[in-house]
Structure 1
Amino acid sequence: MTEFVLVAGAWLGAWAWDDVVPRLRAAGHGAHPLTLSGLADKQGVAAGQQTHVRDIVDEVERLDLRDVVLVGHSYSGIPVGQAAERIGDRLARVVFVDSDVPADGESFASGWWQGPAKLEAAIADNGGFWAPLTAAECDGQGLTDEQTTRLVGGATPHPGATLTEPAVLARPLDGLPATYVKCLLDGPEPADDVAVLLTGENWRLVEMDTGHWPMFSRPAELARILLEAAGDQRRAADLTAPVRGRAR
């Protein structure tokens, strides 16, 4: 039995996986959605990026999980990628869902598409938090109106320090057994750093014809990909949503 630990991206909590978790459990696996400190039901808890790394490691150790597939979406790929090397032989695989990946000494803000100063200023102007996303920011991401309302309605301010503190890696990421899920409505190709990692023998690319929040827009398809990443081809075949994938 695989134990999936699922971590959603900025502004979100464990609740974001509500449509994915039942499918994984119905397939006979453990599924453990995690809210990171300072978000959702853990608002008010002070958090930096290393706090989020510890949240993930502590959850794995608290539950004494083995054969763990860590799943990191969007921002959370950065703490998940760091946690993966810290849980040792408990780790089976990492799945990065349309996510950033950590680089030693670099922060989430370092790679921000408008430049780190722009994001840092937005955080400073909002009392040290990244303001939740708006419905307009969900346009073109394959979401129904109902899904957008649910996503935006549940979003909470994201602790700014988690976005500006640097990652700490002891080893290169290319040594991790990893699947990268690229959501094509959010851009046709992975970022340059991910593209380099995908040239290695340990990383596999899977594409989804949906937007940046597939746990809302395509939960059955995403659950199928997670089961396949864990090696459960038989149960994955029971989820009939189409998926395209290729190894690199």
Structure 2
Amino acid sequence: MTQFVLVSGAWLDERAWSDVVPHLRAAGHGAHPLTLSGLGARQGVPAGQRTHVEDITGAIEARDLREVVLVGHSYSGIPVGQAAARIGDRLARVVYVDANIPIDGSAFANPSGRGAEIFAAIEAHDGVWPPPAPAEFGGQGLTEAQLARLLAEAAPHPGAPLTEPAVLDRSLSELPTTYVKCLLDWPEPFPEVVELLTGPRWELVEMDTGHWPMYSRPRELADVLLAAAARKRP
């Protein structure tokens, strides 16, 4: 029995997975969507990058989960990747859903490079990253109802987890991993992901949808997760 631990990206909490969870449980597996500190019902809880990693490892250990498929979407790929390296033989597989991956010593956002705009937005909004305007979700395969739900569930994301560096205990290349690329968002994975995909433990799966497949294609995403869980460990 696989135990899926599902972690949403920026602005979102466990509700993002509500259309995915029933399909995983109907297939006979456990499904555990998490809300990270500072988000959803946990708004106001102090949070940093280390806090989000501990949110994930703590939930897995508290529930004594084994055969864990640890799923990270977008930003949460960064704490998920760090947590995956720390839970030892509890881990069966990592799945990144159109996600960032942790790079030792680097943050999701920084004052220069591709995170400069995010860093500036955090500084301009008292330490949080506000959700995008509705128009920024265009072209992502979302129906009006799906977009309305996403916007209703989104909340400002605490800035510290986005600007604090990741710390890796082992190489991501050592972990059995599926990377899910959502083609409507951007057709190519990040360069650091492309490099890891050349190794024997990483595989690429493409979905013809946008950056939020848990909203736009929940059944298809559930099927991708189930197929990833069925992979034998290398």
> Is the shorter-chain TM-score for this pair beyond 0.5, marking a shared fold?
yes
What does residue range 122-133 of structure 1 map to in structure 2 within 5 Å?
122-133=121-132
Q: Deviations over 1:173-204 (max 9, x none)?
A: 11110000000001111110100010000000
- Is structure 2 residue 206 aligned with structure 1 residue 207? yes
Q: Deviations over 1:135-156 (max 9, x none)?
A: 1111000000110010011101
Q: Deviations over 1:53-100 (max 9, x none)?
A: 000000000100000000000000000000001100000000000000
8 Å CA contact 1:7–1:14 kept in 2: the answer is yes
**Identity within the alignment, %:** 66
1:134 maps to 133
Q: Could you list the runs of 5+ residues in structure 2 that have no partner in the other structure?
A: none
2:85 maps to 85
C-alpha displacement of 1:124:
1.1
2:149 maps to 150
What does residue range 110-129 of structure 1 map to in structure 2 within 5 Å?
110=110, 115-129=114-128
What does residue range 40-119 of structure 1 map to in structure 2 within 5 Å?
40-110=40-110, 115-119=114-118
The alignment's TM-score, normalised by the length of structure 1, stands at 0.91
1:74 to 1:3, Cα distance in 2 relative to 1, 3 A: same
- Is structure 2 residue 176 aligned with structure 1 residue 169? no
Counterpart-to-counterpart distance in 1, 2:168 and 2:130: 28
The count of corresponding residues between Structure 1 and Structure 2 is: 232
1:186 maps to 185
The alignment's TM-score, normalised by the length of structure 2, stands at 0.96
C-alpha displacement of 1:115:
3.5
Q: Could you list the runs of 5+ residues in structure 1 that have no partner in the other structure?
A: 234-248
Counterpart-to-counterpart distance in 1, 2:72 and 2:172: 14
Letter in 2 for 1:64: D
C-alpha displacement of 1:172:
1.3
SS of equivalent to 1:109: coil
SS of equivalent to 1:37: coil
RMSD: 1.5
SS of equivalent to 1:82: helix
1:172 to 1:110, Cα distance in 2 relative to 1, 3 A: farther
